[in-house]
Structure 1
């Protein structure tokens, strides 16, 4: 089996004939936290959805550890944008997390005690064990995000896609998420994260992709995340501010 978790070649996607991704080609290294950064409409979420076959692409090949995604689904975990989920669906937190085990069970085998035990352990890891029997509609935004992270953990994947996991969560949840991501990295798992907060990119990610319809830069964060490349990506002037020893990046697109 190939040791490359994700390889995408010449991926192009268009909506109503408007290019959203153009000739995207890259290989994701194993055991890295990779941030996907770019302006609104840059194609960040589209890249993830096209890689997972959730939307069609005009061109492009996707391989997971050297084989097509359709043959490697059990190796891939996905955390969608919270806004894309129907949180009014009548189900409990534990049931959502156990959905992550279905890929290991097959369609016709019902989850049993072993799967429930794994699901509870995953809820424990994200600090949500006490909410196992709570309806998902009764949870806060941060709690809902933790539930979806627990579901991804229950999949026990090797490659994870996470679409804006830090959006709309409280500081405690953000800290819990980044702790979890680092635990996955220590297990040699690869995580691609669509991310919007430029100020935390250097702190959170080993590698970064700067994307605006096409890849502007991709590589180790210290090399790819530069002022020049950010200005090229966002098409505006960039100002760097220092506050409490943290760099803040402001983009002026006027």
Structure 2
């Protein structure tokens, strides 16, 4: 079964289309970068797939079922800037939130859940901060905690909205190592990404987006200057030399 199938997805704000008739099928066990200029609808695409915003038309299927039936199979890491980091909770409690799909919202996590959450924090190098208030953590540390929460969900498909933004080099390295580990486990990971120079290094497949699907497929054949020009237009000019130099 296809992990993520999107068919003719259209999303509009105040009757103005933001995404128009986007269709693609995400293959199993791949790291997929969602790339495009600012305002292209990258974050909107993820939110529409997850039912966080209404869609005007089209269909979304997670393993051939509607998202509501497959919530337990999906993990989500939102943009760090959209999270209320002043909420009074510590890092371990944030990660335990990822277990509620398994234990239910009205049951307390048991020792097994606690131990699993701590193992997820250990995996992202944050176990020593388990009892630290999230508001006291750095941006990179906060991002690692949210990654640990996604791991705690034990999902099959992960959506991550710009996880590398505002993090230090060590955190970026830890994130990409974790993404590759998820891929080795057969998970499918879709990542909104803004750094064109690292796309070829980080992702197996790429979705180029600018309100519509520009191109989708294996990175080697899809992430081309021609397709980038279609996605970015004149805004690509100042990046083109950097991309060539980076090859």
Q: Determine if the TM-score, normalized by the shorter chain, exceeds 0.5.
A: yes
Structure showing the higher strand proportion among its residues: 1
In structure 2, which of residues 227, 230, 241 is the aligned counterpart of residue 229 of structure 1?
A: 227
Spell out, residue by residue over 1:68-91, the C-alpha distance to the aligned partner (whole angstroms, 9 max, x if none): 110000000000000000000000
1:241 is aligned to: 242
1:49 is aligned to: 47
1:68 aligns with 2:66: yes
Spell out, residue by residue over 1:130-170, the C-alpha distance to the aligned partner (whole angstroms, 9 max, x if none): 00000000000000000000000000000000000000000
Q: What displacement does 1:106 show? A: 1.5
Q: What displacement does 1:246 show? A: 3.0
2:213 is aligned to: 215
CA distance in 1, matches of 2:2, 2:61: 9
Secondary structure (helix, strand or coil) at the match of 1:67 reads coil
Q: Report matched runs for 1:79-90 at 5 Å.
A: 79-90=77-88
Secondary structure (helix, strand or coil) at the match of 1:66 reads coil
Runs of 4+ in 1 over 3 A off after TM superposition: none
* Structure 2, unpaired ranges of 5+: none
Spell out, residue by residue over 1:35-68, the C-alpha distance to the aligned partner (whole angstroms, 9 max, x if none): 0000000000000000000000000111111111
Q: Report matched runs for 1:64-213 at 5 Å.
A: 64-213=62-211
Structure showing the higher helix proportion among its residues: 2
Q: What displacement does 1:19 show? A: 1.0
TM-score, normalization: structure 2? 0.97
TM-score, normalization: structure 1? 0.94
CA distance in 1, matches of 2:221, 2:33: 13
CA distance in 2, matches of 1:132, 1:107: 21
Cα 1:84/1:176, change in 2 over 3 Å: same
CA distance in 1, matches of 2:5, 2:161: 18
CA distance in 1, matches of 2:204, 2:95: 28
* Structure 1, unpaired ranges of 5+: 248-254
Secondary structure (helix, strand or coil) at the match of 1:11 reads strand
Secondary structure (helix, strand or coil) at the match of 1:240 reads helix
Spell out, residue by residue over 1:103-135, the C-alpha distance to the aligned partner (whole angstroms, 9 max, x if none): 001122211101000000000000000000000
Q: Residues 197 and 242 of structure 2 are in contact (CA less than 8 Å); yes or no, is this contact kept in structure 1?
A: no
Spell out, residue by residue over 1:229-251, the C-alpha distance to the aligned partner (whole angstroms, 9 max, x if none): 001100114323379x734xxxx
Residues paired across the two proteins, number: 244
RMSD: 1.1
CA distance in 2, matches of 1:24, 1:92: 39
